Amino acid sequence: MLDENANKVGEIELPPVFNVPVRADLVRRAFLAAFTARLQPKGRDPLAGKRTTAYSWGVGYGIARVPRNPNGRARFVVSARGGRAAFPPTPDRVLREEINKKEKALALASALAATSDVGLVRRRGHIFGVNQLPVVLADSVEDSVDSTQKARELLVKLGLWSDVERSRDGTGIRAGKGKMRGRRYVEPKSILFVVSSTEKLFAKAVRNLPGVDVATPKDLSVLHLAPGGVPGRLTVFTKSALEEIGRRFEVISL
């Protein structure tokens, strides 16, 4: 356990949940279930392409008997220019990946355990200068580190600032039409801070750093711990947050 100067101030035993075997397949399923749960079903108006005054002229004109405007232009039917869509998207399409409650709990525990595996964290592409994970900070850090400058100095001392720089250097403009749809930039994920409260000064000091996410034990999910469904995110816990995680998984049968 480290203080605001990156000095060792004590030791803390990791909760048993960090000894759970890492199941990358379950983590992937849980990620897809959580990610697809946020998708909004998309469909078409049932009258789309049908709001027209076109009507069939009948026989005797030597032309197809499709609905036409007074100027002779065919409308309404699928084969006509300006007609309705043949197979438009329907809101009945199943978008969500389902997962059982026990599988979801095991996947979350597995994603937590992966944060303590140095090999998995490096395999995700994180850059850091520590030999033991996860990094645990004393609770006093949440009140003493009250600015982004102090947070940067702390991360430099911890050997984690290089990962923030990796995210900053990797940020770029998205390729494709997403640039026009409110997601212009792609930003690699960096450090995840798990704190006791997002209202603490430390949480506000680090939340705007490139690629950084801040979460509490209550709202911690696979989306935080395994972005893209790949376990092993570089994570920093505070002492109280780590203890709360231990209490949370005591009541879950894994």
- Residue 246 resides in a domain: yes
Residue-level pLDDT at 93:
87
Residue-level pLDDT at 181:
93
Q: How many CB atoms lie within 10 A of CB 237?
A: 25
CA distance 33 to 95: 10
Q: What is the dihedral of CA 67, 73, 74, 78, to 10 degrees?
A: -140
- Residue 105 resides in a domain: yes
Q: Which two tokens stand for residue 133?
A: 């994970």
Of the candidates 248, 251, 253, the residue with the CA atom closest to the CA atom of residue 112 = 248
CA 199 from centroid of its chain's CA atoms: 21
- Residue 81 resides in a domain: no
CATH of the domain at 157: 3.40.1370.10
* Phi/psi at 166 (5° precision): -60, -40
CA distances from 73 to 50, 56, 76 (A): 14, 11, 10
- Residue 133 resides in a domain: yes
CA distance 186 to 206: 19
Region of 110 please: left (phi>0), alpha (psi -120 to 50) or beta: alpha
Residue-level pLDDT at 82:
84
- Residue 82 resides in a domain: no
- Residue 34 resides in a domain: yes
pLDDT tens digit at each of 254 positions of the chain: 999 999 999 899 999 999 999 999 999 999 999 999 999 999 999 899 899 999 999 999 999 999 999 999 999 999 998 899 999 988 988 999 999 999 999 999 999 999 999 999 999 999 999 999 999 999 999 999 999 999 999 999 999 999 999 999 999 999 999 999 999 999 999 999 999 999 999 999 999 999 999 999 999 999 999 999 999 999 999 999 999 999 998 866 55
CA distances from 202 to 127, 142, 232 (A): 22, 5, 23
DSSP 8-state symbol, 79: T
- Residue 215 resides in a domain: yes
Side chain identity at residue 87, one-letter code: F
Residue-level pLDDT at 98:
95
- Residue 167 resides in a domain: yes
Number of domains in the chain: 1
The whole domain housing 241 covers 16-39+95-250
